[in-house]
């Protein structure tokens, strides 16, 4: 401001500066507050958030089989484990694990109650870079194998070999009946 120099009285300078600073601060607050709705609109919309649960009928999954269901737009494994798979998973609870976790811990329901050993509910995304692993009968650890970068998971979905750092994530689920679960 070129004419700032020819203001002589101190009081006047103070008052003038106050108005400018107040105006600029209020305007800055306004701009900042205006930005928020434009950021927030990119968050998941209410309809997307409401689709966050999926109901699954377990009666349709025979023992030794699994189905893939969609939950929040992502695949989830619902595996009906055989006695052999359960035994193998429990046996390895204290093996040398990269991401140590017991099989029982991986069956816990959303509300903290214990699950059923026959039913393993896993998010079907390899913890390495997000590909969907395949269940390979008779693979090195009896469980899932990720075709992208060769991670091996056991029958509890724990990482045993390969680049993935973590066990397959357990999907939050709840038994809503003897043969029905709700995911999410």
Partner 1 sequence: MSGPSTYEPKSGITRWLDRRLPILRLTHDSFVAYPTPRNLNYWWTFGAMLSLCLIVQIVTGIVLAMHYVPHIDMAFASVQRIDRDVPFGWLIQNIHSVGASMFFLAVYIHMFRGLYYGSYKAPRELLWILGCIIYLLMVATGFLGYTLPWGQMSFWGATVITNLLGALPLVGESIKNWLMGGFSVDQPTINRFFSLHYLLPFVIAGVVALHVWALHEAGQNNPVGVDVKSKADTVPFTPHATIKDLFATTLFVILFAVFVFYMPDALGHADNFIPANPLQTPPEIVPEWYLLPFYAILRAFDFNIGPIDSKLAGVLAMFASIGVLFILPWLDTSRVRSMRYRPIARQFFVIFVVVCVFLGWCGGQNPGNILLKAGQFTATLSWVAEGQLSERSIEAPTAAQWQETADAAEAEARSQGADMTAVTRTGETTGTIRVVTGGNPELQTVEASTPDLLEEHIAEMKAEVGQAAPFYTVVRSLPPRFTVTNFSQVLTLYYFLFFLVILPILGLRERPDRVPDTIAKPIAQGAP
Partner 2 sequence: MLRAISAAAVLVLAGVGVAWAAVHGEEPEKYPFSFESPVGSYDMAAVQRGFQVYNQVCANCHSMNHLAYRHLGEEGGPFALYMVQNEETHQPEPHVGRPEHGGEFVEVTDNPYVRAIAQSHMITDIDPNSGQPTDRPGRISDRFRRPFPNEIAARASNGGAAPPDLSVITHARHGGAPYVRSLLMGYDGQTRGTLHHNPYFPGGWLAMAPPLADGAVPYADTETPQTVEQYATDVATFLQWAADPHMEARKRLGIVVLAFLLALSGLLYLAYKQVWRGESH
Give the interface with partner 2 as residue ranges (CB under 8 A): 1, 3, 16, 19-20, 22-23, 26-27, 29-30, 33, 46-47, 50-53, 55, 57, 60, 69
Alpha helices in 41-126 (DSSP H): 46-50, 83-91
Q: CB of residue 114 vs partner 2: minimum separation in angstroms? A: 23
Instruction: Please report which helix (H) or strand (E) contains residue 35, including its range.
Output: helix 10-40
Backbone angles phi, psi at 54, to 5 degrees: -135, 135
Among 6, 11, 33, 47, binds partner 1 (CB under 8 A): 47
Q: Which is nearer to partner 2, 33 or 94 (CB)?
A: 33
Residues 21-40 that bind partner 1 (CB under 8 A): 27, 37-38, 40
Residue 153: C-alpha distances to residues 74, 86, 124, 125, 157 (Å): 19, 14, 12, 12, 5
Residue 80 annotated in active site: no
Among 5, 31, 32, 42, binds partner 1 (CB under 8 A): 42
Give the sign of the dihedral formed by CA 105, CA 99, CA 69, CA 85.
negative
Interface residues with partner 1 (CB under 8 A) are 1-2, 27, 37-38, 40-43, 45-48
């Amino acid at each position: 401001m070129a004419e700032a120099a020819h203001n002589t009285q101190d009081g006047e300078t103070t008052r003038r500066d106050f108005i400018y600073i107040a105006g600029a601060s209020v305007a800055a607050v306004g701009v900042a507050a205006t930005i928020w709705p434009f950021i927030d609109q990119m968050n998941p919309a209410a309809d997307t958030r409401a689709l966050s649960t999926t109901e699954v009928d377990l009666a349709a999954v025979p023992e030794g089989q699994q189905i893939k269901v969609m939950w929040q737009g992502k695949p989830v494994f619902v595996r009906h484990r055989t006695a052999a798979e359960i035994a193998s998973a429990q046996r390895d609870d204290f093996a040398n694990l990269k991401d140590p976790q017991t099989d029982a811990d991986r069956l816990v329901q959303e509300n903290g109650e214990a699950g059923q050993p026959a039913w393993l509910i896993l998010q079907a995304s390899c913890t390495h870079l997000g590909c969907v692993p395949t269940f390979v009968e008779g693979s090195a650890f009896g469980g899932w194998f990720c075709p992208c970068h060769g991670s091996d998971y056991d029958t509890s979905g724990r990482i045993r070999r390969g680049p993935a750092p973590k066990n397959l994530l357990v999907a939050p689920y709840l038994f809503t009946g003897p043969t029905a679960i709700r995911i999410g």
